[in-house]
Amino acid sequence: MKPNQHKSKLKIHAFISSVLATLFLFILHHLPIYQIFIDPFSEAIKNHDVMDVAFSKFRNHDDPTLFDPEVFIINSEITDREQLANAIDIVIKKQAAVVGVDLLFDKPNYDKADTLLRAALQHEKVIIGYTFEETQGHTSISSDRSSEFFSDKTQSAFVNLGSNDGFSVRTFEPFHEIDGQKDLAFAVKVASYLDPEIPTILKERHLKKEWINFRRKQPGKLNSIYPINNEGLIHYAMVDISDFIAEANNYKDDYFRDKIVLIGFNGDNNSYLSMQDRYFTPLNEKYSGRSLPDMHGVIIHANIISMLLDKDYINDTSEKYLYLIAFLIFFINFMIFDKLVKKNFVFTVATARLIQVVQFIILFTISVYMITYMNRKIGFVLIITAVVLSFELYEYYHHRLQSRFTKLLNYKRTKKIKGQK
Amino acid sequence: MKILRNLITSIVLMLTASVMLNAQDITVIGLEGEVYVMHMDGNKKQYAQLVYGPMKNAEMIVLKAGSMIKLVNEKKEVCTINQPGDYSISNLEFEITKDQSTFGKFYDYFHSFFSSHESTESKKNYKNTVYAISRGSMVSPSLDFPIEGVVPYGRLLSLPFIWTHDCESCTYELQIYDYSTRKTVFSVKTLDQKFDLENSDKYLKSGNKYYWTVQIEGQEVDTEKVIFTMSKKADFETTISTLKNDFSLASEQISEIGKSIYILSNLEQSGLLNYSILYGFHLKEKYPNNEDINNICDRQWYDYLLNK
């Protein structure tokens, strides 16, 4: 056989093998059964994402431009309703664009403090958070909600965030249909006061869920520890509610103009860390193994707001491109492995594994680089599965299928030549 | 003429320099603790507490101990100060924040894979980072006095607050709240498990309802609350003397112990247990060596606390 003919045949086999391998990968990822039995790799790394490594290790968090002057956070501490009403009145008087209250008030005492808070919450610039729960495909407002005494006649938005394990927050839904009505996420509703285009932009992106582009860490002196915010970076202005009220006169009458004020829990005092309303995010400095949750819910909302205002969205790579990349990996690896096998190295398998490790490093670097600097998320698990399976699938094709396909190709070729004669 | 020209030039130069310095667009992006900013209002110095955001027309920053400030100028250069002192704005030194190169970050990341790692099963991998010690009993302090009910208003202007808790190094915060407004009317930190509220009539008004709690500093413990009402009149002494007179009329020959038992039980039966305990304190002070009186007074109080 001429070398050119051999090369062309090899390419045909590489093509057939890659198509079959990609199909196998597609079936593996779309099997309608609980995948832990057949895909333990994905299940094991469910709590991890390339995003975690990229955001925590590769981004420059000390960049002074990360400080967001448009968002001002008031730590509610142990909620004193009269203090809260007072703080809302102050920021409204000082021309805040909007006040987002990330707190639930479930039991009214019907006293003076409650009456004042109710009046403050009813201001048109105040948005109060609520949660929804999904049961058997139906979504309804959670029973764990603010009493109607407070939530009646107030503007509200849902505060639910997306997690795949109940602890790590990486996504949020901009819109959700609740009891037949499409409602806005808390961060979307709050941010739209400053930029009314935001809901339209999000609708045009046609995504049910958005990745949260975490850039800003949990502020607060007590949080200046590993793995929360070891460098003690401050990306949001945050003050405790008691200090804010005591020092309200230091803020000029228009200090909050064009500013979003978020009121939420960030710890009840300056003596010890509170673990309430605290979650894992990709900014956690310890991205693998057990760690301390690094961010309070209200700072997560602030990160979403900053992302929306900066139009700093993370774009997914479509699944069809991922399968195309997987196909290319299978194709290239088929050619490489075939050469290795034909040269009959002593350490063929070891060399193949070394090539896979190098490919892992290259693909990982590309994935991290893309998400860190280009806001482009590549489905790393799928393409790395292609790398991992490529040698085994090559061997299977080489030993079991290649001769059959060769016969088939030869038969067709002979038939074609006979036809020509 | 030459002198005048030089003078005008100097003034113009000084003004330009001053305007240029003040025109520096400095923004506060990090703030912790007590930091003040000084402005000049004519010849008058004006100080204000610093807040986040642009710093306009500031001449000087005053940092108190334990405070920190992070500033950024229009060139996105950063200045961080964390030592107490007075800092002139024109003398602040800003510098560019340096970030490691992308290549460097990837190199460090992959290099970390090849550093020697002990097997997770190896004992060498275990570090002494678990501090297996608890902070003693973390039950909430038991509030012993005043107990629920009426508390005599203006009684000698001093009212004791007593609690018990099994901790020798705890700092307690006694807090008294107005029952209707939930506002704190009095708060104090102490290492003791007793606090005498002097001039109690200043904080606790006659006829008003209050509740008190004791919190342990640095501990998240559910605290007990005791609701009490101040009597409408300053009637402690008059109530005791009325009972004493009644008893004297009935029998003049009776002992001091008998008198005490009569008054204590009468107060208890009238629902004035706080009066009774307070009177017990008074008796114990008056007769420190009389074991019988001491036992009677303690017994009545402890019985209540045990059955609480």
Range A211-232 average pLDDT:
92
Q: What is the distance between the alpha carbons of residues A100 and A88, in angstroms, rounded to a whole number?
A: 10
Of A217, A265, A263, A255, which is closest to residue A74 (Cα–Cα)?
A: A263
CB atoms B109 and A57 under 8 Å: yes
For the question of whether the overall pTM of this predicted structure is more than 0.95, the answer is: no
Cβ–Cβ under 8 Å, residues A265 and A277: yes
pLDDT of B302 strictly over 90? no
Residues of chain A positioned with their CB less than 8 A from the CB of B72: 64, 67
CB atoms B30 and A234 under 8 Å: yes
Of A341, A333, A321, which is closest to residue A387 (Cα–Cα)?
A: A333
The answer, yes or no, to whether the previous bond of A219 is cis (omega within 30 of 0) is no
What is the tens place of the pLDDT at every residue in B135-158? 443 567 889 999 999 998 876 668
Confidence at B87, pLDDT banded by 50, 70, 90: very high
Cβ–Cβ under 8 Å, residues B157 and B126: no
A108 Cβ contact list (under 8 Å, min separation 6) = A114, A147, A149, A150
Residues in a beta bridge with B178: B210
Tokens at A228, concatenated: 């929360």
Residue B37 parent element (H or E): strand B35-41
Range B107-128 average pLDDT:
67
Q: What per-residue confidence (pLDDT) applies to B307?
A: 73
pLDDT of B56 strictly over 80? yes
Range B250-261 average pLDDT:
70
Q: What per-residue confidence (pLDDT) applies to B135?
A: 44
Q: What is the distance between the alpha carbons of residues A260 and A194, in angstroms, rounded to a whole number?
A: 8
Q: Tell me how many degrees the CA angle B52-B57-B62 measures, rounded to the nearest 5.
A: 60
pLDDT of B111 strictly over 50? yes
Amino acid at site A261:
V
Q: What per-residue confidence (pLDDT) applies to B253?
A: 63
Tokens 């009149």, residue located? B233
Tokens at B284, concatenated: 């114990």
Considering A90-99, A129-138, B12-21, B206-215, the range whose residues carry the highest mean pLDDT is A90-99
Largest CA distance in chain A: 103
Largest CA distance in chain B: 112
Confidence at B37, pLDDT banded by 50, 70, 90: very high
Q: What per-residue confidence (pLDDT) applies to A89?
A: 96
CB atoms B49 and A247 under 8 Å: yes
Helix/strand number for chain A, H first, E second = 14, 17
Task: Write the ipTM.
Answer: 0.74
> Mutate which of B102, B185, B215 to test chain A, going by most A C-beta atoms within 10 A?
B102
Chain A residue set in contact with B, beta carbons under 8 Å: 53, 57-58, 60, 62-65, 67, 69, 72, 80-82, 109, 111-113, 221, 233-234, 237, 247, 250-251, 255, 268, 271-272, 274, 361, 365, 368-369, 372-373
Range B88-92 average pLDDT:
91
Q: What per-residue confidence (pLDDT) applies to A8?
A: 79
CB atoms A62 and B30 under 8 Å: no
Return phi, psi of residue B211, to 5°: -140, 155
> Mutate which of A271, A372, A374 to test chain B, going by most B C-beta atoms within 10 A?
A271
Query: Which residue does chain A place closest to B54, by CA atoms?
Result: A69
Q: Tell me how many degrees the CA angle A116-A118-A119 measures, rounded to the nearest 5.
A: 65
Cβ–Cβ under 8 Å, residues A84 and A76: yes
Range A168-190 average pLDDT:
91
Range B236-241 average pLDDT:
84
CB atoms A69 and B181 under 8 Å: no
Q: Which residue of B31, B76, B182 is in closest CB contact with A113? A: B182
Tokens 């009637």, residue located? B235
Q: What per-residue confidence (pLDDT) applies to B81?
A: 93
Q: Which of A157-171, A191-205, A268-282, B266-280 has the lowest mean pLDDT?
A: A268-282
From A64's Cα to the closest Cα of chain B, the distance in A is: 6
Q: Which of A400-404, B21-25, B102-106, B274-278 has the lowest mean pLDDT?
A: B21-25
Using CA atoms, how far residue A292 sits from A48, A62, A286, in Å, is 15, 21, 8
* Average pLDDT, rounded, for chain B: 81
Q: What per-residue confidence (pLDDT) applies to B136?
A: 44
Q: What is the distance between the alpha carbons of residues A330 and A23, in angstroms, rounded to a whole number?
A: 11
Range B30-39 average pLDDT:
90
Q: What per-residue confidence (pLDDT) applies to B2?
A: 64
Cβ–Cβ under 8 Å, residues A104 and A129: yes
Cβ–Cβ under 8 Å, residues A267 and A220: yes
Strands (E) located in A45-188: 71-75, 98-101, 126-130, 132-135, 138-141, 155-158, 162-163, 169-172, 175-178, 181-184
Q: Which of A138-152, A333-347, B12-26 has the lowest mean pLDDT?
A: B12-26
Interface of B with A in 203-232 (CB under 8 A): 217-218, 220
Number of neighbouring beta carbons within 10 Å of residue B243? 20
Tokens at B207, concatenated: 């006829």
Q: What per-residue confidence (pLDDT) applies to B19?
A: 45
Number of neighbouring beta carbons within 10 Å of residue B68? 17
Q: What per-residue confidence (pLDDT) applies to B8?
A: 66
Q: What per-residue confidence (pLDDT) applies to B18?
A: 47
Q: What per-residue confidence (pLDDT) applies to B301?
A: 84
Q: What is the distance between the alpha carbons of residues A233 and A63, in angstroms, rounded to a whole number?
A: 10
CB atoms B53 and A53 under 8 Å: no
Confidence at B17, pLDDT banded by 50, 70, 90: very low
Number of neighbouring beta carbons within 10 Å of residue A362? 11
> Is A215 or B41 the better-scoring residue by pLDDT?
A215
Of B241, B210, B224, B229, which is closest to residue B274 (Cα–Cα)?
A: B229
Query: Which residue does chain A place closest to B67, by CA atoms?
Result: A221
Confidence at A324, pLDDT banded by 50, 70, 90: very high
Q: What per-residue confidence (pLDDT) applies to A75?
A: 94
Using CA atoms, how far residue A88 sits from A123, A261, B256, in Å, is 9, 9, 62
Residues in a beta bridge with B160: B196
B25 Cβ contact list (under 8 Å, min separation 6) = B54, B73, B74
Q: What is the distance between the alpha carbons of residues B125 and B256, in angstroms, rounded to a whole number?
A: 74
Task: Transcribe B12-33 into DSSP letters.
Answer: HHHHHHHHHHHT--EEEEEEES
Q: What is the distance between the alpha carbons of residues B19 and B16, in angstroms, rounded to a whole number?
A: 5
DSSP H stretches of helix in A60-217? 81-93, 112-121, 148-151, 186-191, 198-204
DSSP H stretches of helix in B130-219? 200-203
Range A2-16 average pLDDT:
81
pLDDT of A38 strictly over 60? no
Q: What per-residue confidence (pLDDT) applies to A316?
A: 92
Q: What per-residue confidence (pLDDT) applies to A143?
A: 63
Range B106-119 average pLDDT:
74
Q: What per-residue confidence (pLDDT) applies to B134?
A: 46
pLDDT of B14 strictly over 60? no
pLDDT of B117 strictly over 70? no
